[in-house]
């Protein structure tokens, strides 16, 4: 059973949702872009929060407020990496509360299975002008 497949979140298959102790297959996904937006220009990386307290909150609205005019009005993509090792967020094994180009990135401490909280930085893909 597939629980998520869309252009914002990507593709999600969780082993725990499969019938009779079956596991998900190993899938690859590919995204295409609408021709006028195929050129994505990336912002610089931003880190406005640390994972102290309830988690690491890199909300797009906060980042825009702190960096006026630096992030496009309609971001197309988002990338998050750890501050220390530049590990892509999706490779850390952590669970994310928000991870999309319209809201930003949130990694809540209470959603993690271990006490190893990570600090992330994010950047946004914007249409190239």
**Number of C-beta neighbours around residue 8 at 10 A:** 12
pTM, full prediction? 0.69
- pLDDT tens for residues 44-63? 999 988 888 889 999 999 99
- pLDDT tens for residues 50-98? 888 889 999 999 999 999 999 999 999 999 999 999 999 999 989 999 9
d(CA 44, CA 42): 7
What are the C-alpha distances in Å from 9 to residues 17, 33, 65, 128? 18, 15, 25, 22
Least confident of 35-39, 67-71, 119-123: 35-39
Tokens (6 digits) for 45: 């990386």
pLDDT at 33: 65
């Amino acid at each position: 059973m597939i629980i998520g497949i869309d252009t914002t979140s990507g593709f999600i298959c969780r082993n725990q949702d499969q019938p009779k102790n079956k596991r998900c297959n190993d899938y690859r996904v590919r995204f295409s872009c609408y021709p006028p937006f195929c050129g994505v220009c990336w912002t610089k990386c931003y880190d406005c929060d640390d994972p102290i307290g309830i988690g690491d909150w890199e909300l797009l609205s906060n980042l825009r407020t702190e960096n006026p005019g630096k992030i496009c009005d309609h971001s197309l993509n988002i990338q998050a990496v750890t501050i220390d090792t530049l590990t892509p967020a999706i490779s850390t094994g952590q669970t994310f509360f928000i991870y999309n180009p319209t809201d930003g990135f949130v990694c809540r401490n209470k959603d993690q299975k271990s006490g190893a909280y990570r600090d992330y930085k994010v950047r946004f893909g914007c249409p190239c002008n």
